[in-house]
Structure 1
């Protein structure tokens, strides 16, 4: 089992104003008032409930976090291998500390950010993370209007456990909302939408996959094609590098374009601009223009690179960038791996290590799962 890199952010003051009817914990004055009135910090205790669900897997987990009450103290006390990426003031933490920690976690290329707090904490993390990495909230605040939170701390831990064990976990877009606490204290609820982050959820099988059979498999492939075509419509100037395999062939078929089944084709604005491209052909495009690489699993072992697509060289993959790799596959194809991770055998060990970790896999129209690429 590969080492799972878990980012952890705890807002230690989350929820302290709730029991005292202070309607939140935003702002230093409110926090000081709550503490003076005898409020207890409970965010770490709630995060402990989540981490207890994965404690038995601690040898396969490395937690990246901030110092003190923002994560380090709890992580070390529970025996997790802990890396501190950001130092906080031991007496007082602010929103900027959550944001700075989130930025450091992105630099560390964690697989998932688990954070404890309320809607204010979700906003802080959204400002830095957006959709760059999957997140999951442990509900610990007074205000939980955002969809990025699990129902309970334990349920958050269970979803993380599924990810660590390599189970197929759906990836959803969830809203980040917050209300104006000052107006809330005046009896006015004014919730505002700020954006969306990607959140892992328990797998929900679509009917076509449950039914099985050739016809339903084709329907799933057409759904995958619809998702990629929608991306092309939204990004008309982007070069889409279309890799090998029957799943990618279906996308080309839905576009009405000729396809090189065992090669690589280049598409711009839904038009074929280069067929059966070589490594140099691809580099000439992707080094000058924004690009996306559409790739599927090759063979029964889950290879992404290094089997039948050598045109996608380390130079090409670096030019495209990991964040622009769009893996496409049906859930039944992912399930056939029986928990084995995807494989990158690019010929560059350093690149393969950089590609390792959880990656979104498009499994239908607006339907994704998170699945790991193996460490080299």
Structure 2
């Protein structure tokens, strides 16, 4: 039976739904905006799946708030190998926790967070060769070390039998908030091989001018359009007559921008009688919800129709769409075949899994 080292970044993802596009250096602001911890719930989903597969697994972890209580709640009797000094944790705490897990001889470091957490974990693992696997809980997830969902991470931690080298990437959050994506390869690490480990995010999108023009021709009076991030939807925003937030969510109705770069609460306040959320999948990964657009929360989605748009070249590199809203019931409702707009008139059927 494997020995699993488990570490939780308790503040990961807090900035997502309140529109901060990340939590690095923004925890106080996120809390002021009403953000609530997201990572512990995601951690519990992963450990529940792990416990379902291997209830007798040996789990080593850090003291609260970095893992112990969540592991116990999932049914494990974890061994605590390191404990942070207080409730407010940092990247240094993550590194110290992982160093202790590696020193204790774990077979896999299962961590909960985003790209920033992945960088800290990779640095702590160093040259030890210990494999790592991420439970997606951050706002930005560009690295190819994460499972596609928390439950998938729990299953993979038990079932994998081989590992391969994968990339840990991070971006400059300040530049990201300003609309610029600046990626940086931080490490190459060992990660379990499984179909449910996501690919690195690809940034190319292809030509979308005809798609945007066709969409703009068909907008309806009185309908509220909630326009997600990315270059494809950005082309639609420009066709509608405004320069939107390239990495945020904008709300538009009848020629007026109601919300620019909105948080979940701002988007909810702007919704009308009929609402359409417009999103484009992440190249190379296929995610339409749950990666970089957590402002499009279950509460927003349950009041809206969903329109997916993408260039044909982007879809050729995906194969299927993915959703990870944090609400398993909603994820199930969103699964199945969906029409994706790929041109002025053309559509393509793609399965959402």
Question: What TM-score, normalized to structure 1?
Answer: 0.50
Alpha-carbon displacement from aligned partner over 1:259-280 (angstroms, at most 9, x marks no partner)? xxxxxxxxxxxxxxxxxxxxxx
1:11-90 aligned within 5 A: 11-27=9-25, 30-57=26-53, 59-90=55-86
C-alpha separation between the residues in 2 aligned to 1:20 and 1:193?
27
**Structure 1 position 145 matched with structure 2 position 142:** yes
Q: Are residue 5 (structure 1) and residue 3 (structure 2) matched?
A: yes
Who wins on radius of gyration, i.e. which is larger?
1
User: For 1:205-354, what aligned pairs fall within 5 Å after superposition?
Assistant: none
Q: Give the counterpart of 1:202 among 194, 217, 238.
A: 194
Matched with 1:129 is 125
Q: Which of 153, 167, 182 is the equivalent residue of 1:175? A: 167
Structure-1 separation of matches of 2:195 and 2:16: 33
| Backbone CA RMSD of aligned residues | 1.6
TM value normalised by structure 2: 0.53
TM superposition shift of 1:98: 0.3
Q: CA deviation at 1:110?
A: 0.3
Give, in whole Å, the separation in 1 of the partners of 2:70 and 2:177. 32
Closer, same or farther in 2 for the Cα pair 1:57/1:203, shift >3 Å?
closer
1:155 aligns to 2:152 (yes or no): yes
Shift of 1:56: 3.2
2:6 match: secondary structure: strand
| Map of 1:361 onto structure 2 | none
The question of whether the paired residues in 2 share the 8 Å contact of 1:130 and 1:196 is answered with no
Contact 2:18 2:30 in 1 (8 A): yes
Give the whole-Å Cα distance in 2 for the aligned partners of 1:19 and 1:62. Answer: 34
Q: 2:104 aligned with 1:112, yes or no?
A: no
Pairing 1:184–2:176 present: yes
Residue 54 of structure 1 and its aligned partner are, at CA, apart by 2.0
**Which has more helix, going by share of residues?**
1
Q: Give secondary structure in 1 for the equivalent of 2:17.
A: coil
From the superposition, tell whether residues 59 and 18 of structure 1 become closer, same or farther in structure 2 (CA, over 3 Å): closer
Q: Which runs of 4+ in 1 moved over 3 A?
A: 56-59
Q: Displacement, 1:59?
A: 4.5
Separation in 1, partners of 2:195, 2:104? 27
Question: CA offsets per residue over residues 30-57 of structure 1, 9 Å max, x none?
Answer: 1011112110111111111111112135
The number of residues matched between the two structures is 195
